[in-house]
Chains A and B, each alone.
Chain A
Amino acid sequence: MRLLLHDPDDASAAWVLEGLRARGVALEPVGSGELLRARTWHHAVGTDGASAGIVLADGRTIDSREVVGTLNRLTAVPPLSGPVAADDREYAAQELHALWLSWLAALPGPVLNRPTPYSLCGLWLDGAQWALRAGRAGLPCAPLALGDAAQVPYPALEERAQAPSAWLVVACGTVFGTPEAEPLATGCTALAHDVGAELLGVGLARGPDGDLSFATATTLPDLRFAGAPLLDLLARRLA
């Protein structure tokens, strides 16, 4: 079984599902809402390892021992409603996040991306941390203000990250995207390696001189930017 885990309305997930099906690789799509409404969860952890069995409301089962690969685009537990009392929803959401994190961490085979405690689909950093890591990875990056004051000497990264001029997708060490960003490919690959992400989107901003520099990054990239070559790579990685 190969899983495609996704949040609602994830156009990239739908695109990958179709693209891989056309390449003969069947993914089992499972939405965050379906995980939330699952009939039963059994997650066992011990010194000799961890496993999990899930029975979804529609009767489908996910046995972690049968999973051979996962494209993981879950970001968070969806808002709770229904039988959980309003006062208990924040607590219940934290409990479910803790369970999903542990379950994802225990999945065998390639998991793109592996979860981290603060985000289910990989490392989730603020602007300063991305800028620092991008700089250390050798990517050109305009200075970023770090502070609480309204008057700052540099525009906040968030402002530049609003509408990057171009996106690159790093997938399993290969960079996909606009040819003019080719000189930044090595830095982008180094950044993905540094944050432990098999899939990383890197947003680039164009400076006044026309050069591209780092603007933002995400472990939940829009994969459609990378086109058919990425689907070929995912088909090989998850096959």
Chain B
Amino acid sequence: MILLCGIPTESPLALVGQELRALGHPFAVFHQRRWAEYGLEGAVRDGCVTGRLRLGPLKVTLEEVRGVYTRLMDDRRLPDVEGRPADDPWSARCRALHAALAGWTEVMPGRVVNRAAPQGSNASKPYQAQLIARHGLAVPRTLVTNDPEAVLDFRRRHGRVVFKSISGVRSIVRELHDDDLRRLERIRWCPVQFQERVEGFDVRVHCVGGEVHACRIVSDAVDYRYAVHQVGSPAVLEPYALDGDLASRCLRLTDALGLELSGIDLRLDGDGRAWCFEVNPSPAFSYYEHHTGLPIARAIAGHLAAA
């Protein structure tokens, strides 16, 4: 049995469900909006987890679940919970269920795409960059600082510089322009990550179950996710064949980070050198699949079914 967790209409979850159906593999859905109809009762004993998950009328024995694909949203933001105080009984029950589910997915012996612990590296970009570099991919020179003078010096040495958040909080990557220097003093209260701008083209690599699915992104935007806003036209995506060595390094990195599925952001410079910006442990791969036809959902479904 495979368990899909999240909102079933959300594209990545919907696509994986579609592929599991095509494979004829049984699966159940933890539909987050229906949490109030659900329950989880189990036990940890002698290093094993047993119990059952109640999904409305459906009862799933925890030991039967061999694979989980989780795209859970923050349960505090669910429409029937948001705005209620944390100690409100409704909110507390929702939190308890999600905590139990999260606890179980961390310890269940099957395949979880992805467990929470290895996703943590994405909470700090410079921390993750250290891990990336340790596993054989180049990372751009980066300075995290609250010192405006140091930023000016970094810019003098590297020319074009971009800035972004340090943590996993989503932020739009922007280039540091002269106009920005007027507000540089503000970083004294909260450090910011600055990075040399690497020229080249972007490649997004999805690794799952030993498969590598890469696409090239053609755009002049600093952050192609916001290409329409930044340069007035959307990014163009096309399948891209990674060379064998780079593909192997991406697979090894995914494995080293403890991830079953990764979305790796690379930029290939004029010399063909690959620079890695980030590894996304919960990639919204559907955007790339829709634009390129890469069978990423099929690979995820196959990986889960093989667990």
Interface of A with B (CB < 8 Å)? 38, 40-50, 83-84, 88, 91-92, 94-99, 101-102, 105-106, 116-118, 126-129, 131-132, 135-136, 141, 143-149, 152-154
Q: Measured between alpha carbons, how far is A228 from B51 in the docked complex, in Å?
A: 45
Given known pairs A40-B145, A46-B142, A96-B190, the reply for A146 and B43 (CB within 8 Å) is yes
Given A95-B166, A128-B107, CB of A144 within 8 Å of CB of B145: no
| A43–B143 touching, CB < 8 Å | yes
Question: In whole Å, how far is A84's beta carbon from the nearest beta carbon of chain B?
Answer: 5
Q: Are A136 and B146 in contact (CB under 8 A)?
A: no
The stretch of B25-33, B125-133, B229-237, B290-298 in contact with A is B125-133
Which chain B residues numbered 230 to 264 have a C-beta less than 8 Å away from chain A?
none
Complex Cα–Cα for A96 and B42 (A): 37
Contact (A45, B129) CB under 8 Å given A117-B123, A146-B104, A148-B96: yes
Secondary structure dominating the interface of B? mixed
When the two chains form their complex, are residues A146 and B144 in contact, meaning their CB atoms are under 8 A apart?
A: no
Check A98 against B43 for contact (C-beta < 8 Å): no
Q: Are B49 and A132 in contact (CB under 8 A)?
A: yes
Question: Which A residues are in CB contact (< 8 Å) with B145?
Answer: 40-43
> Which residues of A sit under 8 angstroms from B117, Cβ to Cβ?
116-118
B49 touches A146 (CB 8 A): yes
Q: Given A147-B39, A147-B40, do A40 and B146 touch, yes or no (CB 8 Å)?
A: yes
User: Taking chain A's interface residues, is the majority helix, strand, or loop, or is none over half, making it mixed?
Assistant: mixed
**In angstroms, how far is the closest chain A Cβ from the Cβ of B179?**
21
**B82 CB, min distance to chain A CBs, angstroms:** 16
Query: Whole-angstrom distance from the CB of B148 to the nearest CB of chain A?
Result: 10
Known A43-B144, A98-B166; contact A154-B43, beta-carbon cutoff 8 A: yes
Contact of B44 with A by CB under 8 A:
yes
- Tell me the smallest distance from the CB of B281 to a CB of chain A, in Å: 11
| A47-B166 CB under 8 A given contacts A118-B120, A147-B51 | no
Q: Is the CB of A101 within 8 A of B127?
A: yes
Distance in angstroms between the alpha carbons of A99 and B189 in the assembled complex: 13
* Residue B152 at the chain A interface, CB threshold 8 Å: no
Q: Which chain A residue has the least Cβ–Cβ distance from B101?
A: A148
The answer, yes or no, to whether B46 is at the interface (CB within 8 Å) is yes
Q: Could you tell me if A117 and B100 are in contact, using CB atoms closer than 8 angstroms? A: no
List 10 additional A-B contacts (Cβ < 8 Å) besides A44-B144, A97-B123, A106-B130: A40-B146, A41-B145, A42-B144, A43-B143, A95-B192, A98-B126, A128-B49, A128-B104, A146-B103, A148-B97
Residues of A within 8 A of B139 (CB): 45-47
